Structure 1
Amino acid sequence: MNNFSKKFAFATLTLTTLCVVNAQEIKVYNQPLFSEFLEHSGNEFRSATGEPGENYWQNETDYVIEATLNEQAQTITGKVTLHYTNNSPLALDYIWMHLEQNRFTEKSRGTLTTPIAGNRYNGDVDGGYTLSNLNAKVKRSNSSKHIITDTRMQVFFAEPLAAKGGEATISMNFKYKIPQDGMDRMGRVVTKNGTIFALAQWFPRAAVLDDIEGWNIEPYLGAGEFYLDYGDYDFKITAPFDHIVVASGELQNPKDVMSSKMRDRMDQAKNSDETVYIIKPEELNDMSLRAKQNGTLTWHFKMKNTRDVAFASSKAFIWDAAKINLPNGNKAVAQSVYPIESSGEEAWSRSTEYTKNSIENYSNKWFEYPYPTAVNVAAEIGGMEYPGLSFCSWKSKGAGLWGVTDHEFGHNWFPMIVGSNERRYAWMDEGFNTFINHYSTLEFNNGEYPANLSKVRNSIGWFNSPNREGIDTYPDATNLRNLGMTAYYKPAQGLFMLREYILGSERFDNAFKSYIKTWAYKHPQPRDFFNHIENVAGENLAWFWKSWFYGTGNIDLAIDTVSEKEGNYIITILNKGEVPMPVKMMVTYDDNTTELITLPVEIWQRGNSWNYMLNSTKKLSKVELDPEKIITDVNFENDIWEPTQK
C-alpha cells in the first residue's frame, strides 16, 4: 500500500460459469475476498507473524536543546544538538530533517494547498525558520552542506555515516516567530492574565529512515501529523520569571524555578488521589510564589525513549496536579494548567481528574504508561497530542472536556508508544485511539459521560453517501468532511466489530495487547498489525481487512425468505453488500422463548445467498439479524422477518 491513495480492486469479476450446489448460487467473485490480503511471507526485518524480525532495526535520535521564549517579540530562539545513531544496514551520505515551522510561510506547500476559504489546518504565513551555524560531524569530519525544501532539510556528511551503529552529531541554531494560528496544533492565545504559548513541532527534527519506505519525507501540509524515531531528550526552556513552564518529561531543577511553597504542594500532589493546587486561581498575580522576582528562569526537562517533546509557557496558568497509580506499583503525576477563564468544576478544574483516570484506565487495560508526567494544557487548540503532554481547548467543558482529554491522552498509546506513521496512516493512531476511548468512557465514573462508538448505526448516512472515501485515503488528500470517518470512526468501528462481533473480547484483547507490547517503541506498518492480530487470534481475517480497511463497500445482510419444510424452517439469508460478515440471528418463537444462532463468515465464500435449516417444533414469530445492533448494516428494513399473519 503506497500511501492512502492506492485502492484495492476486488469487488467484481466477470462470471463465466454458474452452477448450483444444494440450491445455492455460487458466485466466484466472492472467493478473492477470502484469499490472502497482504503477503504474509516474512523477512529478516518483519516476520510473517507480525513481529519484528531477527534483524529489525530503527535509528536512534537523542536531542539536547536550549531555547528561549521572548514574550514581547513572540519568538523562539535556540540551539539543537542531535546525536544520531545509524542502526540501518546502509552507510548514509546524508540524513533528512523536518523543519515544520516552515509550514507557516506564504509560499509553503501547506499554505498553497489550503483552500481560499480556509479549514482547520490554517496557519500563519509570517513565520518560518532562520537557521545558522549548521554543523554535521562524523568522526573528525565536519560539514555545513544542506538543502532546504519547504518543510524538509537534507543535511550532508563529509564522509559516510557507517552502518550498524555509526554515530553523527548535527547541531544548528534556530529562530522563528511563534504562530498565533498554528494549524490547531500549536500557537498562542491572549487571556485575561497573559498569553498562553503552546509550542509543538518546534525544533528541527530528524525524519525516519525505515525498511519499508526508506526516508519518510512527506511534506508537512495539514491533516498528516508526524512520524519520528525514538531517543532521549534533554531540553531547557528559558522564559520570563513570572511564567509557568510545563513540558513533556520530568522537571530536573524544581528548586531553581519553583518556590518552596510550590514544591511542597507538588510533593503533596504526588501522593494524593485528589487534585491539589500548585497555583490557586486567587494566586495568579502573587509573584511571591515565583522563584525570582525579575528577569528569566530556565526550566530543565528530560524525557527518555520518546519520539518527541512539547511544552507550554504562560503567566496566566492556574496549576494543579494529582497522583497517577500504575499497575506495577509505580506512580506518575497528572497535571493541568489553564487560565482563570477556564476554571470551574464544570470545566478545567476537573482536567487533572480526567487525565488521571484516562492514564490509569489505559495502563490497566492495555499497556502501562511509561512516562513520569501527564500534562493537560488549556490552549487555543481543539485537541492535539504529544508524548506526556496534550493541548485541549481552553473553552471545553463537561463531556466535551472529558472526551478531548481522554482522546489526546489515549494517543500516548497510539502513536507515542506504538510508533505508527501518522502522516501516512492516520487510522493507525486516530482510529485505534478512538476505539480505546470508547471503553475508557464507559468505565469513567460509572458512565458519567456517554460512549457513542456502540451506536454504529448513527453513521449510516455517511456509509450511504456517494462522496465517502476509504480508510486508506492519504490523510492530506482526504476531503476534510470525510476525515472524521476515515481516520477516526470507521477504523474504530471496525475494531469494535472485530472485538464485539467477530472474534469476541477474549481473543481480541489477547491479540490487541500483544500487538501493543510487541511494537512498543517501534514502527509497525499496516501489514504488521493485520498479521499480528491474525496470528495471535488464530483467524484468517483477509476478508475483513480487504473490505473494511481498503475500499468503500458496505455491510448489508438481509433475510430473504422463511419457509417451512418437513416440519423445519428454511431461513434464506442474503449478503447484499460488499463487506461479508458472520451472521448472528435471533429467532423468537410464539411462546416468547428465543435462540441465538451464529453462522461463520465462510458461508459467503462462494456466494451471496445461504439457506439455514432450523430444526424446531415450535412456531416462529420473528427472525432478526444482529439483534444487538453491533455491525454497521446500512439497511435496517431487511434485518427482520415476521410472518404476515400472526
Structure 2
Amino acid sequence: MKKLVLAGRVAAGLLVAGAVNAPVFADGTDAAFDPQALFAPLSLPHAPNAFRGGAGKPGPLFWQNRVDYAIQAEIDPATHTLRGDETITYTNHSPDALDVLWVQLDQNAYRRDSRGSLTSPRPRKDFTDGYQLDAVEVDGKPVHFLVDDTRLRVDLPQVLGGNGKQLKLRILYHYTVPGTWGGRTAVTPTKNGDIYEIAQWFPRMAVYDDLRGWDTLPYLGSEFYLEYGDIDYAVTVPWNYLVAGSGALTNAKDVLTSAQQQRLAQAAQSDATVMIRSPQEVNEPSSRPKQSGTLTWRFHMDHTRDVAFAASPAFVWDAARINLPDGKHSLAMSVYPVEGVGKDQWNRSTEYVKGAIEHFSSKWYPYPWPAAVNLGGHGAGMEYPGIVFDGYDDKGPMLFWITAHEIGHTWFPMIVGSDERRHAFMDEGFNTFIDVYASDAFNKGEFAPKRDSEYAPKGGNPVDEILPLLADPNAPTMMAPADSVSEKYRHSVSYFKGALGLVLLREQILGPERFDPAFRKYIATWAYHHPSPSDFFRFMSSEAGEDLSWWWRGWYLNNWQLDMGVSAASYVDNDPSKGAMVTLGSRQKLVMPATLRIDFADGTHEDERVPVEAWRQSVTPKLALHTSKRISKLTLDPDHKLPDADRSNNSYAMP
C-alpha cells in the first residue's frame, strides 16, 4: 500500500486579477477548463429535507429502524453444516405501515443458479445449496414467504405499524459452509484441524430507510448494508474447539479452563501480549475444560450491524489491553494456527491490533466494543464488527498493513454505517485514508509509508499514480454503484482515488486544522446511522466552512483531470522592483489551490498560495506578485503535491 500523505500548506498572499484572455496556453492549446462548469451551483443526488438537512446532519424527522437478534447455532464438522435458530425483534420506527419484510440471504450467492454465480467474471466450480429454510414464523405463527435469489420476502399476516411498533420474526435454517473457495466465509484446513470462518451466516434484515424504502439489492459479491441493534448469539461446537467472535464472551467460566480465565484477566491489564493458549497447548486435552461432547460459547454485542466468528481446534490464542480515550479499555486478541507462529508473523498480530485501534480511537472516534479479534485463517482480508479475517501466512509489513486496514473498517462502515453495496468509496476509500496515518503513527513509523502493489501499482508519488485512472475515458466515477465497477477499477477507484481525495482535501484544500475537527464530528454525528454521499458532502462543506462544490463535482461526481501551469510572466513596467504579473492556464477541467514558488536570482525563494478562487472568473487568471527582486523561475506546485497530468508547464523561467 502506498503512502498518500501530501503534507504542507503555505499562507496565501496574492492579488488575483480577472483576465479575459482567450482560453489558451502559451503554446496555443485550447484549454478544457471552464470556470462556469466547475464552479456552477451543485445539485447533489439527494435533496435536503426534514429527514436529512442542508448541513448534512440527521434532520428533525430523521428515523431509523432497529433490528435485534437472538441466535443459536451449531456446527457439525462431519458434514460442514451450520444449523441456526434465530429470532429477530424488528422495530419499525418509520412513519410507514409495512405489509412485508425483506431479509438478506447472502449464503444463496453460493448456489449454482444465483445471480452472483451467473454474472461473476471468475467462473466458480464449487457450489452449495445455500440456505435451507426449515421454518419462518412471525410472532409464533408460520407465515407465507418467497425466496428470490439472495432475498427473502416475508408476507405479514397483519401490517406492522410505524412509529415504534415491533414484531418477532423467527427463522430456522441450515446450510453447508463453503470450502476455501467461499472466500469471506470458509472452512480452511490446517495441520491441527479445520478453521471455520463464519460470516454472512444468519439471515439479516434488509434496510428500510427514507432514501428508497426497502433496499434489496441482490448480493453479487460486493459488501453490505445493514441495520443496527443488539445481538446475542450462541455457538455449539465440539469440546476441543476454541471460538473467537464479535462482542463479549459471556460464559467464559463454561468454555475456558481456570488458567485461561486467569490469563485473560492478566491480558486485560497488560500492554504486552499475554498468551492465552500457547502453540504447545494446541493439541493438549487439558487446554479445554472437558474432553468429550460439545461446548456452547455465548457472546453479546451492543449496537452493531453484524457479528461473525471463527471456530477451530487449531487455534493459538493471545491478547493484550487496548487503551482508549477517557481511561477506557478494550481487549485486542489474535487467534491463529501454529503455521502462523513466528517473530515477524502472528506473534505480533495483537500488537498491531492494539496499536491501530489506539491510534484510530485517539485521532477520530473511540473504539466502542469490548474486544477486537484478528483471525489468521484462509486470508480473505475481510472485516466484520469486532473481528477481522486475515491470512495465517501473512507476515512482516503486510501483516501490519492488512491488520490495520481491516480493523480500520470498524470506523467505516461498522460505526458510520454507509451503504457499501452502493457507495464503496465511503467504505474502502475512507478507511484507506485513515490507514495512511496509522502506518505513520505505529511504532515511530516502523511500517511507514503504507505500500501495496494494488493501491500503488507504479511506485513513487501517489499523485502521479492516479494519473492513468483520471485519463482513462472508461474509468467509472466514485459515485458508480459498487456492483457496476469491474475488478480492473475496483481498487484504483474505490480505495486509492477515494483515499487520495480525502488526503488532498485535508492537506491541500482545507488543512488539518479545519479538516480534522469536521471529519471527527462527521463520524460522531453519523455513528450507527446511514449517511449518504450527499450527507457527507454537505456536512464537510458546512463544518469546514468552505464551499466545496467544485471539489465534489470534479473528483467525486466526475473523473476530471488536473493540468495547471504557468503560461506567462513579466515585470510591472519592466522593473523587478515593482513586482510581477503571472498568467496561469489549465488544459483540463479541474483546478485546485496550489503553491507558487518564486525563485529569486539571489538564490532565495518565497512561496505564495494560489487559492482556487483565482480561477472562478477566468481560464487564464493573472496574479500580481508583490516582489521587489529579480525572479529567476516560477514553479506551480513545487513540492509535487497535486495530481497534475503534465508537469512540463509547471515552471516558467523569467528572462
When normalised by structure 1's length, the TM-score is: 0.93
Task: State the Cα distance separating 1:133 from its structure 2 match.
Answer: 1.7
Contact 1:103 1:111 in 2 (8 A): yes
Match of 2:541 among 534, 537, 553: 534
Please give the alpha-carbon distance, in whole angstroms, between the structure 2 residues aligned to 1:235 and 1:339.
24
Q: Which moved more, 1:560-569 or 1:383-392?
A: 560-569
Task: State the Cα distance separating 1:398 from its structure 2 match.
Answer: 1.0
In structure 1, the residue matched to 2:192 is 193
1:302-322 residue CA offsets vs partner (Å, 9 max, x unmatched): 001100000000111110000
Please give the secondary structure, in 2, of the residue aligned with 1:101. Answer: helix
* Aligned length in residues: 617
1:582-639 residue CA offsets vs partner (Å, 9 max, x unmatched): 1221111122222111122122223321111223221212222222322211212222
User: In the alignment, is residue 90 of structure 1 matched against residue 88 of structure 2?
Assistant: no
Contact 1:143 1:156 in 2 (8 A): no
User: In the alignment, is residue 573 of structure 1 matched against residue 579 of structure 2?
Assistant: no
Match of 1:378 among 350, 367, 376: 376
Mapping of residues 331-410 of structure 1, within 5 Å: 331-410=329-408
Task: State the Cα distance separating 1:521 from its structure 2 match.
Answer: 0.6
User: In the alignment, is residue 60 of structure 1 matched against residue 59 of structure 2?
Assistant: no
User: In the alignment, is residue 614 of structure 1 matched against residue 625 of structure 2?
Assistant: yes
Contact 1:335 1:352 in 2 (8 A): yes
1:208-259 residue CA offsets vs partner (Å, 9 max, x unmatched): 000001111000002x200111000000000111111000000000010000
Q: Which moved more, 1:446-455 or 1:415-424?
A: 446-455
Mapping of residues 496-511 of structure 1, within 5 Å: 496-511=503-518
In structure 2, the residue matched to 1:245 is 243
Contact 1:390 1:408 in 2 (8 A): yes
In structure 1, the residue matched to 2:28 is none
Residues 123 and 129 (structure 1), Cα distance of their counterparts in 2 relative to 1, 3 Å cut = farther
Please give the alpha-carbon distance, in whole angstroms, between the structure 2 residues aligned to 1:625 and 1:22.
18
Percent identical residues: 42
Residues 94 and 381 (structure 1), Cα distance of their counterparts in 2 relative to 1, 3 Å cut = same
Please give the alpha-carbon distance, in whole angstroms, between the structure 2 residues aligned to 1:474 and 1:182.
25
Mapping of residues 465-484 of structure 1, within 5 Å: 465-484=472-491
Task: State the Cα distance separating 1:462 from its structure 2 match.
Answer: 3.1
Please give the alpha-carbon distance, in whole angstroms, between the structure 1 residues aligned to 2:562 and 2:109.
40
Match of 1:426 among 414, 418, 424: 424
Contact 2:135 2:142 in 1 (8 A): no
Please give the secondary structure, in 2, of the residue aligned with 1:238. Answer: strand
| Matching residue's letter, 1:361 | H
Residues 171 and 640 (structure 1), Cα distance of their counterparts in 2 relative to 1, 3 Å cut = same
Unaligned runs of 5+ in 2: 1-16, 24-31, 452-460
Q: Which moved more, 1:509-518 or 1:615-624?
A: 615-624
In structure 1, the residue matched to 2:265 is 267
Please give the alpha-carbon distance, in whole angstroms, between the structure 1 residues aligned to 2:50 and 2:369.
31
Please give the alpha-carbon distance, in whole angstroms, between the structure 2 residues aligned to 1:452 and 1:334.
22
Mapping of residues 602-641 of structure 1, within 5 Å: 602-641=613-652
Please give the secondary structure, in 2, of the residue aligned with 1:382. Answer: strand
User: In the alignment, is residue 24 of structure 1 matched against residue 24 of structure 2?
Assistant: no
In structure 2, the residue matched to 1:456 is 463
Please give the alpha-carbon distance, in whole angstroms, between the structure 1 residues aligned to 2:125 and 2:589.
40
Please give the alpha-carbon distance, in whole angstroms, between the structure 1 residues aligned to 2:618 and 2:116.
47
User: In the alignment, is residue 522 of structure 1 matched against residue 529 of structure 2?
Assistant: yes
Contact 2:126 2:181 in 1 (8 A): yes
Contact 1:347 1:396 in 2 (8 A): yes
Task: State the Cα distance separating 1:183 from its structure 2 match.
Answer: 4.9
In structure 1, the residue matched to 2:495 is 488
1:326-356 residue CA offsets vs partner (Å, 9 max, x unmatched): 1011110000001111111111111000000
In structure 2, the residue matched to 1:129 is 131
Mapping of residues 100-115 of structure 1, within 5 Å: 100-115=106-121
In structure 2, the residue matched to 1:302 is 300
In structure 1, the residue matched to 2:42 is 37
| Matching residue's letter, 2:48 | G
Please give the alpha-carbon distance, in whole angstroms, between the structure 2 residues aligned to 1:411 and 1:313.
22
Contact 1:136 1:156 in 2 (8 A): no
In structure 1, the residue matched to 2:146 is 147
Please give the alpha-carbon distance, in whole angstroms, between the structure 2 residues aligned to 1:65 and 1:575.
59
Residues 21 and 414 (structure 1), Cα distance of their counterparts in 2 relative to 1, 3 Å cut = closer
Match of 1:290 among 288, 291, 295: 288
Please give the alpha-carbon distance, in whole angstroms, between the structure 2 residues aligned to 1:569 and 1:279.
72
Match of 2:85 among 50, 61, 79: 79
In structure 2, the residue matched to 1:17 is none
When normalised by structure 2's length, the TM-score is: 0.91
1:381-437 residue CA offsets vs partner (Å, 9 max, x unmatched): 331110010001222111111111000111000011001000000000110000000
Please give the secondary structure, in 2, of the residue aligned with 1:328. Answer: helix
| Matching residue's letter, 2:586 | N
Please give the alpha-carbon distance, in whole angstroms, between the structure 2 residues aligned to 1:530 and 1:36.
14
| Matching residue's letter, 2:104 | H
In structure 2, the residue matched to 1:417 is 415
| Matching residue's letter, 1:136 | V
Task: State the Cα distance separating 1:452 from its structure 2 match.
Answer: 4.2
Please give the secondary structure, in 2, of the residue aligned with 1:597. Answer: strand
User: In the alignment, is residue 327 of structure 1 matched against residue 342 of structure 2?
Assistant: no
Contact 1:127 1:179 in 2 (8 A): no
Please give the secondary structure, in 1, of the residue aligned with 2:234. Answer: strand
Task: State the Cα distance separating 1:31 from its structure 2 match.
Answer: 1.6
Please give the alpha-carbon distance, in whole angstroms, between the structure 1 residues aligned to 2:400 and 2:501.
23
Please give the secondary structure, in 2, of the residue aligned with 1:24. Answer: coil
Please give the alpha-carbon distance, in whole angstroms, between the structure 2 residues aligned to 1:379 and 1:625.
49
Please give the alpha-carbon distance, in whole angstroms, between the structure 2 residues aligned to 1:256 and 1:41.
53
Contact 2:401 2:450 in 1 (8 A): no
Please give the alpha-carbon distance, in whole angstroms, between the structure 2 residues aligned to 1:335 and 1:463.
41
| Matching residue's letter, 1:291 | P
Please give the alpha-carbon distance, in whole angstroms, between the structure 1 residues aligned to 2:367 and 2:414.
11
In structure 2, the residue matched to 1:164 is 163
In structure 1, the residue matched to 2:212 is 213
Please give the secondary structure, in 2, of the residue aligned with 1:380. Answer: strand
1:25-67 residue CA offsets vs partner (Å, 9 max, x unmatched): 4799422422332358632211111110111101000000000
Match of 1:555 among 557, 562, 577: 562
Please give the alpha-carbon distance, in whole angstroms, between the structure 2 residues aligned to 1:100 and 1:341.
31
Residues 28 and 189 (structure 1), Cα distance of their counterparts in 2 relative to 1, 3 Å cut = closer
| Matching residue's letter, 2:38 | L
